Amino acid sequence: MSELTTDREIDRSKMQISDEVAIEISKMNKWYGTFHVLRDIDLTVYRGERIVIAGPSGSGKSTLIRCINRLEEHQAGSIVVDGTELSSDLKNIDKIRSEVGMCFQHFNLFPHLTILENCTLAPIWVRKVPKKEAEATAMHFLEKVKIPDQAHKYPGMLSGGQQQRVAIARSLCMKPRIMLFDEPTSALDPEMIKEVLDTMIELAEEGMTMLCVTHEMGFARQVANRVIFMDQGQIVEQNEPEEFFNNPQSPRTKLFLSQILGH
Amino acid sequence: MSGVHAHTVAYVRDTMLDQKEPPSTSVGAIGWARQNLFSGWFNTILTIIVLGLVAFVLGNILPWIFSPTWNAASLSECREILAAAGSVSDHGTSGACWGVINERWVQLLFGFYPSHLYWRPILALVLLCVALAPILFASSVPAKLIYFSALYPFIFPWLLWGGTVWGPLAALAGVVIGYVVYSVLSERVNALLGLIVGVAAALIWWFVLSGYVVDGLSSILPIGLETVESRNFGGFMLSITIGVVAIACSLPLGIVLALGRQSDLMIVKYLCVGFIEFIRGVPLITLLFVASTLLNIFMPPGTNFDIILRVMIMATLFSSAYMAEVIRGGLAALPKGQYEGADSLGLDYWQAQRLVIMPQALKISIPGIVSTFIGMFKDTTLVSIIGLLDPLGLSNAIRADANWNGIVWELYGFIALLFFVICFAMSRYSMYLERRLRTDRR
């Protein structure tokens, strides 16, 4: 897992982190029933940051990013996305969801719609973009993820890697300012992981604010500007990737890294 | 592997194998018969026994069916014809007496509907097919036709029952009024309030105001069709009328109930659960008796609430409860990721339901939905018990005629055939639809 994700030189010219805060999470707590999944999470994400969240399974990393677009509800503390605080106000939630793109482990494409329809659905119905324009945008992003020729097929006809790239394109069609990735490569065959990671790297090169839950440590090393390690619902350690991998501080982090990089 | 390599593991293929034709015994008619009929000694014996049974049954039934009694005017005349033709067995003459169908098929189709007005139910049926086309075969019919489908619910009762033309127009006006109120309010205030006030406005129009307007207009401009009373309705026309209304109304109602049952809103949820469980726990016959007798007790005296309308409402409620459970099954089969995918794109609840969840849930539920439709259509024969003259009710009336007293098989056979044709068509349509919507296959 420690080997390089991409063999090409990453273009870092547009990877700039501004002082503008994109996401501000403070003292956020979440319970599933009586189980305390997330405990006192404090996290500030600046625009243009590429954050990789790592940790053992059950550590709450997926729950954390799912809280950011309110797929999960937090019970205490606050989450402010793009200046809007997440509350039970439905208008706020829909607004934030259309600003924040998300890719899932299992893609969650809509199997009854073609690739193109998957990509134009939300722009047409949420953003009220005219159909022609939405289709042009969709084709633009499908070209970007290198599958414009599949536009009229259905998701079931595509490979896992292609489906995940469509899912990324579908999110991009909403022109999000933040992208969340929830283990985007975990359900893929090894051959297909690279094509998805390449797409994500291109996105990073364009300066997209990204939060990725992933086990791809090569990707973390090359692309992330910050790696967050979570365990038992808490942020245990965060650092620049170089320091994080070469000089981990917490014994939990050391153990985790030795387990996942050891073989 | 050849002997030389028997103990070595390393192996490199140097030429790739081409595709070959399958052996001739596994393709074509012979291959099919071998695989499906004679695949072993046991299956061969079974095949022969079953073929023999089929031949035996057909050999006995076909002569009965092909009996030359089409023009007989009574059961006794049938017997004479059969005796003359030599079709006599130990129990008397053997052979069907088709004269009854020849004489009464029109009645079995239309009941006691005035014969000079038969064009109206026929036209209603033809227009029904036109109105269904854009719904059933959306891809091969001009999309504009859907506007006609939307108007059809107002044309259909007017054609069947007749009366002033202002009745259906006033009903249509109620929809327009409701929609206008809804769109004004939902823009100015909010969507939910708009919906509630819009529905209320439409209801007030329909039940309070429209009566005066219709009376006024029809006294000024008396345009309309000759009125036909509900008690003259009967036969297949009645079955189809009740069936189509129950089917068309129970699907949307079932969707709403299924969604209500999954709702986070406590009161909505338990209202839906209570309704579904109550209706499913009560036999349809009971509901029909309530419709035919008890309902009148609760109505203010003097109200004339049409019996067929009451039956339609009960049948609709009955099948919508089943529909709700079938659709809930479809909803439960959808992975949670579909909801999350829709949510993450910013679709609101109704958009997600309409664009993402329902198309898939309904597709999964097609077999169950169509089963419920078929069951509903066949259940319309139960109305004969509360005195409506559906085909079964008519068959009793026909047997009461001295000429046809004693006829059983021919009438029931004919009725069964007509029901079978319609139900089989529905079943085939559902299979066609499943095939057409199968997009998740490679």
pLDDT per position as a tens digit, B346-377 = 998 889 999 999 999 999 999 999 999 999 99
Tell me: do B277 and B368 sit in the same domain. yes
| Interface contact B345-A108, CB threshold 8 A | no
Tell me: do B258 and B382 sit in the same domain. yes
Distance from CA of B176 to the nearest CA of A (A): 24
Q: Which amino acid is residue B435, in one-letter code?
A: R
| Interface contact A174-B337, CB threshold 8 A | no
Interface probe with A: pick from B192, B264, B338, B344, most Cβ of A within 10 Å: B344
Tell me: do B206 and B254 sit in the same domain. no
Indicate if the pLDDT at residue B301 is higher than 50.
Answer: yes
Q: Of B225, B255, B271, which residue constitutes the final position of a domain?
A: B225
Q: Of B173, B201, B225, which residue constitutes the final position of a domain?
A: B225
Residues of A with CB under 8 A from a CB of B: 69, 71, 90, 94-95, 97-98, 100-102, 104, 106-112, 121-122, 125-126, 154-157, 170-171, 174
Report yes or no: B284 and B382 within 8 Å, Cβ to Cβ: yes
Tell me: do B285 and B201 sit in the same domain. no
Report yes or no: B100 and B404 within 8 Å, Cβ to Cβ: yes
Residue B36 placed within a domain: no
Report yes or no: A47 and A249 within 8 Å, Cβ to Cβ: no
What gap in Å lies between CA B348 and CA A36, rounded to an integer? 29
Residue B210 placed within a domain: yes
Residue B31 placed within a domain: no
Lowest mean pLDDT among B46-60, B68-82, B363-377: B68-82
| Interface contact B345-A104, CB threshold 8 A | no
Lowest mean pLDDT among A37-41, A173-177, B39-43, B93-97: B93-97
Tell me: do B179 and B315 sit in the same domain. no
Residue B60 placed within a domain: no
Residue B152 placed within a domain: no
Indicate if the pLDDT at residue B5 is higher than 60.
Answer: no
B265 touches chain A (CB under 8 A): no
Q: Of B225, B249, B270, which residue constitutes the final position of a domain?
A: B225
Q: What is the pLDDT of residue B6?
A: 58
Tell me: do B202 and B255 sit in the same domain. no
B355 touches chain A (CB under 8 A): yes
| Interface contact B355-A125, CB threshold 8 A | yes
B247 touches chain A (CB under 8 A): no
Report yes or no: B163 and B156 within 8 Å, Cβ to Cβ: no
Tell me: do B221 and B243 sit in the same domain. no
Q: What is the pLDDT of residue B328?
A: 95
What gap in Å lies between CA B299 and CA B306, rounded to an integer? 12
Tell me: do B391 and B432 sit in the same domain. yes
Which positions in chain A touch B355 (Cβ < 8 Å)? Answer: 121, 125
Look at chain B and report how many structural domains it folds into: 2
What gap in Å lies between CA B301 and CA B428, rounded to an integer? 47
Enter the DSSP assignment of A9: P
Tell me: do B243 and B386 sit in the same domain. yes
Residue B272 placed within a domain: yes
Phi and psi at residue B17, in whole multiples of 5°?
Answer: -80, 140
Phi and psi at residue B131, in whole multiples of 5°?
Answer: -70, -30
The owner of tokens 């023009």 is: B71
Q: What is the pLDDT of residue A42?
A: 93
Q: Chain A to chain B, count of Cβ pairs less than 8 Å apart?
A: 74
Instruction: Give percent of chain B with pLDDT exceeding 90.
Output: 37
pLDDT tens track, chain A, 263 positions: 445 566 677 788 788 888 889 999 999 999 998 999 999 999 999 999 999 999 998 899 999 999 998 999 899 999 999 888 888 777 778 888 888 999 999 999 999 999 999 999 999 999 999 999 999 999 999 999 989 999 999 999 999 999 999 999 999 999 999 999 999 999 898 888 988 999 999 999 998 999 999 988 889 988 999 999 999 999 999 999 999 999 899 999 999 998 887 65
Which of B343, B351, B360 is facing A71, going by the closest CB pair? B343
| Residue A44: strand, helix, or coil | strand
Query: Which pair of tokens denotes residue B360?
Result: 């898939």
Residue B364: which CATH number?
1.10.3720.10
**Side-chain half-sphere CA neighbours of B135 within 13 A:** 12
Long-range contacts of B390-399 (CB under 8 A, 24+ apart): B390/B234, B390/B235, B390/B238, B390/B239, B391/B108, B391/B235, B391/B236, B391/B239, B391/B415, B391/B418, B393/B234, B394/B104, B394/B107, B394/B108, B394/B111, B394/B234, B394/B235, B395/B108, B398/B100, B398/B104, B398/B107
| Residue A186: strand, helix, or coil | coil
Report the predicted TM-score, pTM, of the whole model to 2 decimal places.
Answer: 0.85
Domain membership of residue B207 as a residue range: 165-225
Tell me: do B200 and B249 sit in the same domain. no
* Edge-to-edge strand ranges of the sheet holding A178-182: A100-103, A178-182, A209-213, A50-54, A226-231, A234-239
**Across chain B, what does the average pLDDT equal?**
87
Q: What is the pLDDT of residue B168?
A: 85
Indicate if the pLDDT at residue B442 is higher than 80.
Answer: no
Residue B403 placed within a domain: no
Which positions in chain B touch A121 (Cβ < 8 Å)? Answer: 345, 347, 355-356
Tell me: do B214 and B290 sit in the same domain. no
Query: Which pair of tokens denotes residue A23?
Result: 């996401």
Q: What is the ipTM of this complex?
A: 0.90
What gap in Å lies between CA B275 and CA A126, rounded to an integer? 34
The model's pLDDT over A152-164, given as tens digits with 9 standing for 90+, comes to: 999 999 999 999 9
Residue B425 placed within a domain: yes
What gap in Å lies between CA A86 and CA B234, rounded to an integer? 61
Query: Cα(first)–Cα(last) distance of chain B, in Å?
Result: 36
Tell me: do B171 and B285 sit in the same domain. no
Which positions in chain A touch B345 (Cβ < 8 Å)? Answer: 97-98, 121-122, 126, 170-171, 174
| Measured CA angle at A158 (ends A157, A161), to 5 deg | 160
